[in-house]
């Protein structure tokens, strides 16, 4: 069974037409008309393959291919077709069209799996206007509490209302939630969103795990004062104190650990933000990602200690607030070894960890997960320059198909 590269290209380019042309790149935000049109196209594609199509309580689009043994739990292939603003054509999308191509190949070759197969487009994987990401996969595993459902976007629409408009049924989230044992395995094909595969001349990446993410808000309060009349040794400058803490955080994350660590300060606000006023208050948000939670905790503890010393020396106050924490997800060894076997039969393969979050994070609450990465040109993603050669997408789908066939025979 050979993957049809041209069909994959046609599907990806068809979805690329459902975008907000007033934005740069390929922008298809969840819950917008462009998103609903794209999902309409997807549902039509699923129906043309004689899949049973339904929308679940979390507005996920699901196409089901029956298996020989109806009592077996489903194997699920999925990802998402929403994008960030100014995004690209491959992030998430290739995981959904991979499912379509695999169904085509199974049908064309008269192969019926033992397990039912579900192809899923998860609702709003990217951070949404409600301040929440992985909405559909959260909802599927009953991790979308009322506090999230009542969050509002800038137009005052609640997430509950948005899900209803997309065909979901929030009142049935708990009733329809998948439980451990309902899904035999979740598989996802994704672009790497980084430079490693390309730089090491590998075509396929077997994902070892998905990094846990800890996010904190750091608030430094000093004393605003006149920039021209306050001597340097008498200043309580919140910005220079924050800068020292940020550089300390960078240094801690650059140390060598058993697992890779990345740390970022990507948001910073300075008050009163005037050229002739000593900064009185700085608020910034930092995040740290790793497959090892103990390393993350150690770095944050050391940063707390360093920040306390800096605050005493500079005469400022420092406060850390934890905004969110997600646990690292490790792919089970038996799942990883089967995916490795499948990938090595297709193209040069290496192991990678995922620094980005995925719907797999949520599905891992109820089922084993596995992921395959394909190269991203120059490591670019979440931008118009995001690109993966269609031939590389096809290699990823080929490996995914091989893994699926192996798992279908091995899983109970």
Domain end marker among 305, 326, 347: 326
CA distance 112 to 103: 10
322 and 356 part of one domain: no
pLDDT tens sequence across 95-134: 999 999 999 999 999 999 999 999 999 999 998 999 889 9
Same domain, 321 and 350: no
Asked whether residue 51 falls in the same domain as residue 91, the answer is yes
Residues 167 and 40 in one domain: yes
Q: Say if residue 95 is in the same domain as residue 110.
A: yes
Q: Are residues 191 and 286 in the same domain?
A: no
Q: Is the pLDDT of residue 12 over 90?
A: yes
Give yes or no: residues 123 and 12 share one domain.
yes
State whether 341 and 390 are in the same domain: yes
Using the 3D structure, point to which of 298, 326, 354 is the last residue of a domain: 326
Residue finishing a domain among 301, 326, 351: 326
Same domain? 219 vs 106 = no
Alpha helices in 192-286 (DSSP H): 196-199, 238-254
How many Å apart are CA 208 and CA 185, to the nearest integer?
15
Tokens 């043994």 belong to 69
User: Does the predicted TM-score (pTM) go above 0.85?
Assistant: yes
In angstroms, the Cα distances linking 60 to 125, 166, 270 are 11, 9, 40
Confidence of residue 75 (pLDDT cuts 50, 70, 90): very high
Same domain, 182 and 84: yes
Whose CA is closest to 120, among 64, 171, 67, 72? Answer: 64
Structural domain including 164 reads: 5-211+328-410
Q: Can you give the CATH number for the domain in which 256 is found?
A: 3.30.70.360
pLDDT for 326: 83
CATH number at residue 116: 3.40.630.10
183 and 94 co-located in one domain: yes
- Residue 131 has a pLDDT of 84
Pair (347, 218) in one structural domain: no
Q: What domain count does the chain have? A: 2
Kindly report the average pLDDT of the chain as a whole number.
Answer: 97
> Average pLDDT in the 301-307 region?
98
């Amino acid at each position: 069974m050979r993957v049809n590269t041209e069909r994959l290209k046609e599907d990806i380019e068809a979805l690329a037409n459902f975008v907000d042309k007033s934005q740069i790149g390929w922008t298809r935000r969840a819950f917008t008309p462009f998103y609903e049109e794209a999902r309409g196209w997807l549902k039509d594609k699923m129906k043309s393959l004689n899949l049973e199509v339904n929308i679940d309580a979390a507005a996920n689009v699901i196409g089901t291919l029956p298996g020989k043994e109806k009592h077996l739990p489903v194997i699920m292939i999925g990802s998402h077709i929403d994008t960030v603003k100014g995004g690209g054509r491959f992030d998430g999308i290739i995981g959904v069209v991979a499912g379509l191509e695999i169904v085509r190949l199974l049908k064309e070759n008269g192969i019926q799996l033992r397990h039912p197969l579900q192809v899923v487009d998860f609702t709003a994987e990217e951070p949404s206007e409600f301040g929440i990401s992985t909405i559909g996969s959260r909802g599927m595993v009953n991790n979308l509490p009322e506090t999230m459902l009542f969050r509002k976007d800038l137009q005052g629409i609640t997430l509950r209302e948005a899900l209803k408009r997309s065909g979901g049924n929030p009142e049935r989230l708990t009733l329809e939630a998948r439980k451990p044992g309902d899904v035999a395995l979740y598989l996802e094909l994704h672009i790497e969103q980084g430079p490693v595969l390309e730089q090491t001349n590998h075509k396929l990446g077997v994902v070892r795990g998905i990094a846990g993410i800890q996010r904190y808000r750091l608030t430094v309060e000093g004393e605003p004062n006149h920039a021209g009349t306050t001597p340097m040794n008498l200043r309580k400058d919140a910005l220079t104190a924050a800068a020292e803490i940020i550089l300390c955080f960078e240094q801690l994350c650059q140390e060598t650990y058993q697992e890779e660590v990345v740390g970022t300060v990507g948001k910073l606000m300075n008050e009163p933000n005037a050229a002739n006023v000593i900064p009185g208050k700085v608020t910034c948000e930092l995040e740290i990602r790793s497959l090892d939670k103990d390393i993350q905790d150690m770095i944050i503890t050391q940063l707390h200690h360093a920040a306390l010393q800096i605050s005493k020396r500079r005469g400022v106050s420092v406060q850390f607030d934890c905004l969110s924490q997600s646990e690292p997800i490790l792919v089970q060894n038996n799942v990883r070894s089967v995916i490795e076997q499948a990938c090595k039969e297709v193209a040069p393969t290496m192991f990678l960890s995922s620094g980005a979050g995925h719907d797999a994070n949520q599905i891992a609450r109820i089922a084993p997960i596995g992921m395959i990465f394909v190269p991203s040109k120059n490591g670019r993603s979440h931008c118009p320059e995001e690109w993966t050669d269609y031939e590389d997408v096809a290699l990823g789908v080929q490996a995914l198909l091989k893994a699926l066939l192996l798992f279908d025979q091995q899983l109970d």
